[in-house]
Amino acid sequence: MNIPIITIDGPSGAGKGTVSRAVAKQLGWHYLDSGSIYRALAICALDCSADLDNIKLLVTLATDMRLVFQCDDSLVVILDGVDITERLPTEEVGSTASKIAAYPDVRAVLLQKQKDFCQSPGLVADGRDMGTVVFTQAKTKVFLTASAMERAERRFKQLKEKGIDANLSQITKDIEARDKRDSERKTAPLIAAEDATTIDSSNLSIEEVIAAVMALT
Ligand code: DC
């Protein structure tokens, strides 16, 4: 049976998570936040002070980690029996994930874990290479982007709302560094699939982006 898939790829902070969850909810489909798989592996590596150049160790950690996703209104991620949801969004975890994600051997181990999410009645998958590598068969592919400045401002606002001290120019630098690493890596770089529709969310509300994606299905 052909399970319908919508892929939503793009740089960090473009709104992929919020949009993907909302679309999955409206359609009653499953949701894959592939970044959280890379982030979970980053947490494994950080917790055992792994040398991030030790590919063999990273591959072992990726193979052995047991991940459970509970998706309701929000996503809960359990790593080896421990709830790591609150640790996932930090910049340290994000940039470590981005470094680890550059290794083809690590990506190969995580590939099947992502494919396993493709279950009936359908899947909305968000990440960097959902449309170009993991689910090339998807009928609907979106590349969701926004300017680095806009994404930095959104992140800055989110942190302020949480009462976390933040520096806008540092956030912009972090975002640009991550974009560069994710786009320039040799394996599965961040790039729009040839058959993807690009949506620039810089001047759109979340509701407008959700409506634009729904109109493509
Ligand atoms: O989407 P995110 O910010 O949670 O992803 C964190 C990092 O994981 C991102 O900088 C690169 C990596 N990643 C990837 O290489 N491929 C994916 N499909 C998803 C994330």
What is the domain-level CATH number for residue 30? Answer: 3.40.50.300
- DSSP code at position 90: S
Buried residues in 131-164 as b, exposed as e (16+ CB within 10 A)? bbbbbeebebbbbbbbebebbbbbbbeebeeeee
Q: Give residue-wise pLDDT tens across range 182-211.
A: 999 999 999 999 999 999 999 999 999 999
- Burial class from Cβ neighbours inside 10 Å (0-12, 13-18, 19+) for residue 166 reads middle
Mutate to test the pocket of ligand 1, among 32, 34, 91, 111 (most ligand atoms within 8 A of CB): 34
- Nearest-CA residue for atom 15 of ligand 1: 101
**Which range marks the domain in which residue 43 is found?**
5-214
Say how many Å lie between the CA of residue 9 and the centre of ligand 1: 10
Distance 113 CA to ligand 1 centre (A): 14
Number of folded domains that form the chain: 1
Per residue in 76-102, pLDDT (tens digit) is 999 999 999 999 988 899 999 999 999
> Going by CA atoms, what residue is nearest to atom 16 of ligand 1?
128
Q: Is the CB of 135 under 6 A from ligand 1?
A: no
Statement: residue 153 has pLDDT above 70: yes
- Which pLDDT value is given to residue 1? 67
Ligand 1: distance of its center to the CA of 134 in Å?
A: 13
Instruction: Tokens 């990726």: give the residue.
Output: 62
Query: Which atom belonging to ligand 1 lies closest to the Cα atom of 107?
Result: 15
Q: Mean pLDDT, to the nearest integer, of 5-16?
A: 94
